[in-house]
Amino acid sequence: MKALKSKIVQQGKVLSDTVLKVDSFLNHQIDATLMKEIGEVFASRFKKDNITKIVTLESSGIAPAVMTGLVLHVPVVFARKKKSLTLSENLLTANVYSYTKEETNTISVSRDFIKPEDNVLIMDDFLANGQALLGLLEIVERAGASIAGAGIVIEKGFQSGGELVRSRGIRVESLATIASLQNGTVTFKEDDK
Amino acid sequence: MKALKSKIVQQGKVLSDTVLKVDSFLNHQIDATLMKEIGEVFASRFKKDNITKIVTLESSGIAPAVMTGLVLHVPVVFARKKKSLTLSENLLTANVYSYTKEETNTISVSRDFIKPEDNVLIMDDFLANGQALLGLLEIVERAGASIAGAGIVIEKGFQSGGELVRSRGIRVESLATIASLQNGTVTFKEDDK
C-alpha cells in the first residue's frame, strides 16, 4: 500500500535492526485519514470472504480494525490484555508472550462476541514474531468460529511470525512488508501488492 | 444523541445502581457505524474551535476519538496506561485512580505529540468520577497546550466527575448523560442535546 509505505519512510524511526518506531501515525499518535485508507484496502481484500466479525488486540489494532469494520459493515471486537472488573466471566483466553515488553499477557475476549457461526477477520498493527496473532487465532478457534484470514498493517518479513502463521494455512494480508531494517534503512519486500 | 441513547437502552446492561455495561458496542465489541456517527456529532460540536489535536486514553477512547479526528482532520493521540519499551523517554505523565479496576495507573503521552501551540480536544468513552479526564487534562496542561474542551460519549450525571471538571471552567460535551441507573433502568438527563 503506497500511502502507508511513504508514511513509514517519511516518519518511521529505525531504532535497531529489528525495531521500527511508527508512533507518529500508528501506535501512539494516529493518522485517522491514513487509517481510513487502510480500512478501505483491507475491506477490498476481504470483500468476497463474507466476514461477519473483526477481532483485534488492544490498543494499536483498534484504529485500523474499526476503519475496516466501518467499510465491511461488521462489528469489531478487541481482545483485552488485562481483565476488567466488569468483564470477568465467560471469557475466551490465550497466553501471549511479548518480546517487546518481555512479559506474558493473558489476552481475553468475551464469549458473547465470537460465535461458532462467525467468519472472522483477525487484525493487528504489527506482525513480527507472531505471538499476538497466534493468541488471537487460538481465541477464535476456541470460540468455534471460522477464520477468513489475518489483516496486518506492517509485517516484519525478516522475523518468523508470517511464516509461522501462513504455514498453518492462514491467509495473511500485510499492507507493508519490511524485508530489512539494516543500516537504519527501511527496505520493503519487492512483491508487496 | 438519539442513536446512541437508543443503543444504550437496547443493549446496555445495568449491573447495579452505578455500573452500566456497554461492551456490545462501545468498550469491548465496537459498532463502527455508530462510532462514525459519534465522531460526526463531536466534530460538529467543536468545528468552530480550531482543534489541532485530539487526546484520549487507551483503549475504549480510541474508536470515538479516531472517528472524530477523521472528520476534523486532526491527529489523535492516545495516552498509554502502561509504559512500553520503545516509548520510555520524554513522557508527560499523570496518575489516575480507577474506581472500576481499584488501582492507580500512571498514564503517559510522548512530549513529541502535544505541543504548546496545540488546541486540544480531550475525549473519553465514559465520564464517571472524572479521574481519567483529570489525568488527561493534567497531561495537556503540562504540555503547555490549550484545552478546547472534552468530548464524552456517556456521562454518568449522578457521579461527581462532570461537576468536578466543569467547575474548573472546562467545557464538557457529553452525547448521552445518564441521570440514574436505579431499579435496573437507564434514565437520561432531560436537557440532553
Three-state SS annotation for B113-166:
HCCCCCEEEEEEEEECCCHHHHHHHHHHHHCCCEEEEEEEEEEECCCCHHHHHH
The domain ranges of chain A are 2-188
Q: Residue A109: beta bridge partners?
A: A92
A89 chain-B contacts, CB cut-off 8 A: none
Whole-angstrom Cα distance, residue A177 to residue A192?
7
Which residues in chain B touch residue A75, judged by CB atoms under 8 angstroms apart?
Answer: 25, 29-32
Is B41 strand, coil or helix? helix
Query: pLDDT tens per residue, chain B (193 residues)?
Result: 999 999 999 999 999 999 999 999 999 999 999 999 999 999 999 999 999 999 999 999 999 999 999 999 999 999 999 765 555 679 999 999 988 778 898 999 999 999 999 999 999 999 999 999 999 999 999 999 999 999 999 999 999 999 999 999 999 999 999 999 999 999 999 765 5
Q: What is the pLDDT of residue A40?
A: 98
pLDDT tens-digit profile of A52-111?
999 999 999 999 999 999 999 999 999 999 765 555 679 999 999 988 778 898 999 999
- The CA distance from B24 to the nearest CA of chain A, in Å, is 8
Is the CB of residue B97 less than 8 Å away from at least one CB of chain A? no
Chain B closest CA to A28's CA: distance in Å? 6
- At A124, give phi and psi (nearest 5°): -155, 165
C-alpha cell at A145: 468460529
A113 touches chain B (CB under 8 A): yes
The model's pTM is 0.96
Joined grid coordinates for residue A126: 504489527
ipTM above threshold 0.85: yes
Query: Does A100 contact B84 at a Cβ distance shorter than 8 Å?
Result: yes
Q: Is the pLDDT of residue A191 over 80?
A: no
Q: Which CATH class is domain B2-188?
A: alpha beta
A33 at B interface, C-beta within 8 A:
yes
Nearest CB neighbour to A63, from listed B23, B31, B62: B62
CA angle B190, B191, B193 (to 5 degrees): 115
